[in-house]
Amino acid sequence: MVSTKVLKLEEKSVASPGIAIGQAYIVPSRGTHFPKYWITDKEISSEVSRFKQAVLKSARQLAIIKDKLCRFQGKEQIQILESHVLLLKDPMLNDSSIQIITDSCINAEWALDKVLAQLKLAFASMRDEYLRERKNDIDYVGRRIMSNLMGQQEHGFKELPYPNTIVIAYDMSPADFASLPRHQLAGVITSVGGETSHMAIMARALEIPTIVGFGDITSHVNEGTQLIIDGNSQQIHIQPDKSLLTLFKRKQRQQRAATRKLLRESRTPAVTLDGYHMHLMANIDLIDEIPMALEYGAEGIGMYRTEYLFLNQLDYPSEEEQYKHYKTILKMMKGRPVTIRTLDIGGDKLFGNIEEHLNPALGLRAIRLCLKEVEIFKTQLRALYRASPHGQLRIMFPMITTCDELRQIRSIIREVHAELTRQKHKFRHNIPLGIMVEVPSTAIIADQLARDVQFFSIGTNDLIQYTLAIDRTNEQVSYLYQPFHPAIMRLLHMTATAGRQAQIEVAMCGEIAGDPKYIVPLLGLGLNSLSMNPISIPRVKKLIRSQNQRDAIRQLESALLAGTADEVSDHFPSGD
């Protein structure tokens, strides 16, 4: 008799929570080897033609998958595949590959590999984890072209081998994920990848239990092995016995019933037992995520990231394109508050006309880039102000570190107002302006900054990394990523106190805002709102409704005296 084996997961590996029960299907791995050879001058023309044909074939394949996703799985993630189609048209990919084939007299596969390495390096150096993950999109598109160059067949997931299949793959592109038959798919496990990857975003939107970045899962699992993914307890059960299967099938039914109940209660406000109302908002990347956010009870959008609008273009989006985009968001939200963050992206190789820096995380980024490339910034601001009559718009600026930056922003906004007035555009003059608190210096001078803005929004992901000098994506030091570190708690308290004294709103849009184990200290801080992945909203609302804010304040006061992250954590319940 085979005994059950239990594998423990890291919390960050659970890209989409839930329980999945099924049999393992191991996707055959494609080799990473490709031919490298020199070609003669006479062969250059045919080699360029071969490259172009592979790109065209890749575009046709993605068009078919996109059409299937639209017809059978909804439109939520269509833009993800559209971004891959745009990458296929990108001159940096096409022209550079053709140039290398021509100048270096090498075959198309070799030239493509050189270009992909350069493009992935540009994204890998970005400070934002979401943007760093975009290097995977380059990789997926490149692999598709490479496969077509080499005449390899697509995986073609028309059918899966089992009624309830847990798909196991080294990696999975959004296109491959979209092509999986939903009626047979129980869950997904990949060896690499992150929770901000496009595949992970799609998995959460479709509520498919998904584990990413597990490592060599195939050393534990064979084809057809019975598995249980328990994303809630961060475990994988291999070869579960009959009693364990019965237990988890019951848990699965209970979880589905609980989810239905949470959704029924999702529009009930998050008000504590002693009457404190915490507003819960959604972090949004795509317009098509808005219906889901509203279904899950979002009271507004706490952060709409505009980077995707820029990344999903072959050139900078025009003022008119941006205006229509922001107008659509505001109209869809029907008067609910919408906080749109201005461009938060690096000025390195993504925009080839801007010089690369040795340390991009500390270089020309976010508001620094916008204040240097003023026309890009003004175009976005003009579009935002023009859209403002269509809803309750708020504008948020990222990576502010000095009061001087705010004064520069105010000056540019005055110029934008004057231009729009001359052009007879209607717009709201008094849009609330806020900043992200994501750098230690910002928290330290929060009392000064609060004089010039209407709200703060704390970005804990970067605040923790900058304060503790760690990169949480680096496995060697990721254990030091400690939201309960006393220094972090003091910076949060400092920011919340400064906002309260200045009588401005203090929100949080970082990852811990949607994590139940941090909700009690966030209540103790007296934050006005939390913004999170929409799927987390019902559970967090339910938890807040069971708490007493006065108790949370007392717990926080004691926790602020602690000397270690563990000691801080001991002051708060688990939140489960």
Query: Which residues are known to be catalytic?
Result: 198, 509
> Which residues make Cβ contacts (< 8 Å) with residue 568, sequence separation at least 6?
484, 485, 486, 489, 559, 562
Left (φ > 0), alpha (ψ -120 to 50) or beta: where does 286 sit? beta
Whole-angstrom distance, CA of residue 69 vs CA of residue 65: 6
CA 432 to chain centre: 25
Q: Name the DSSP class of 364.
A: S
b/e burial code for range 523-560 (CB count within 10 A of at least 16 → b): bbbbbbbbbbbbbbbbbbbbbbeebebeebbebbeebb
Strand order in the sheet with 165-169: 5-8, 235-238, 226-230, 19-26, 165-169, 185-190, 210-211, 14-16
| HSE-CB for 243 with a 13 A CA cutoff | 2
Decide: 274 and 293 in contact? Cβ < 8 Å.
Answer: no
> Which residues make Cβ contacts (< 8 Å) with residue 122, sequence separation at least 6?
135, 348, 349, 350, 356
> Which residues make Cβ contacts (< 8 Å) with residue 67, sequence separation at least 6?
none
Query: What residues pair up with 226 in beta bridges, in sequence order?
Result: 23
3-class secondary structure per residue, 89-140: HCHHHHHHHHHHHHHHCECHHHHHHHHHHHHHHHHHCCCCHHHHCHHHHHHH
SS3 548: coil
Query: What residues pair up with 407 in beta bridges, in sequence order?
Result: none
